[in-house]
Amino acid sequence: MSARKRTLLKVIILGDSGVGKTSLMNQYVNKKFSNQYKATIGADFLTKEVQVEDRLVTMQIWDTAGQERFQSLGVAFYRGADCCVLVYDVNVMKSFDNLENWRDEFLIQASPSDPDNFPFVVLGNKVDVDGGNSRVVSEKKAKAWCAAKGDIPYFETSAKEDFNVDVAFQVIAKNALKNETEEEIYVPDTIDVNSSRPQKASGCEC
């Protein structure tokens, strides 16, 4: 008996291939990091239970493949997402430029009921690389973009160093919960036997 209500959040991670989506997820869920790059095929799924304030939340994390050939996953895949995490590599300008495309693509495919207020979170990953010397996207630039898109929360992360990862995911969970629609009380119809009944004849027709 589930006396206490547990919430399940569907979180989708999007971003160019190689920006570190899988590494972020692995760091967050398994506390592991590998330098070896292994492309995600299609999608990976991980679950993690977290406590957000007084609520027990299960995060169902959909780690998608960044390669374009997997973009056919489409509508059904994005359907019913509670939060979307956009990831880019602070050392690769193109991955930042593409955030716009990823966001648009998500909004088109998932078509959330209130697109303007749909919870996104942006992560600028790999801030550890070369001591920050190779970075090409400044924090300021990234924050400006996030602000322009309706104040998307922004975090600079390093999956390798486990920098800011937990904090970022905590905000992801929190924002997804905030966006939870007011649940209406479920009141289905009752049959009115005195009016015309839409019932089917079942069994045999004799």
Residues found near other proteins in the complex (CB under 8 A)? 1-2, 5-8, 10, 30, 39, 41-47, 49, 58, 60, 62, 69, 72-77, 79-82, 113, 180-181, 183, 186, 188-193, 197-204, 206
Please report how close the Cβ of residue 83 comes to other proteins at its closest, in angstroms. Answer: 10
Please report how close the Cβ of residue 156 comes to other proteins at its closest, in angstroms. Answer: 25
Please report how close the Cβ of residue 179 comes to other proteins at its closest, in angstroms. Answer: 9
Nearer to other proteins, 35 or 202 (CB): 202
- Rounded Cα–Cα distance for residues 94 and 102 (Å): 12
Please report how close the Cβ of residue 56 comes to other proteins at its closest, in angstroms. Answer: 9
Nearer to other proteins, 148 or 191 (CB): 191
Nearer to other proteins, 10 or 143 (CB): 10
The count of residues in the chain is 206
Nearer to other proteins, 53 or 205 (CB): 205
Kindly state the tokens that stand for 129: 């690389």
Between the CA of residue 16 and those of 13, 22, 96, what are the distances in Å? 10, 11, 9
Residue carrying structure tokens 């078509």: 111
CA end-to-end distance (rounded Å), the chain = 44
Please report how close the Cβ of residue 79 comes to other proteins at its closest, in angstroms. Answer: 5
54: Cβ–Cβ under 8 A, 6 or more apart, which residues? none
Between the CA of residue 139 and those of 106, 136, 151, what are the distances in Å? 24, 10, 14
- Rounded Cα–Cα distance for residues 120 and 178 (Å): 12
- Rounded Cα–Cα distance for residues 179 and 172 (Å): 11
Please report how close the Cβ of residue 59 comes to other proteins at its closest, in angstroms. Answer: 8
Beta strand 55-64 pairing with 43-52: antiparallel
Nearer to other proteins, 75 or 147 (CB): 75
Nearest to residue 89, comparing CAs of 149, 16, 35? Answer: 16
Nearer to other proteins, 2 or 133 (CB): 2
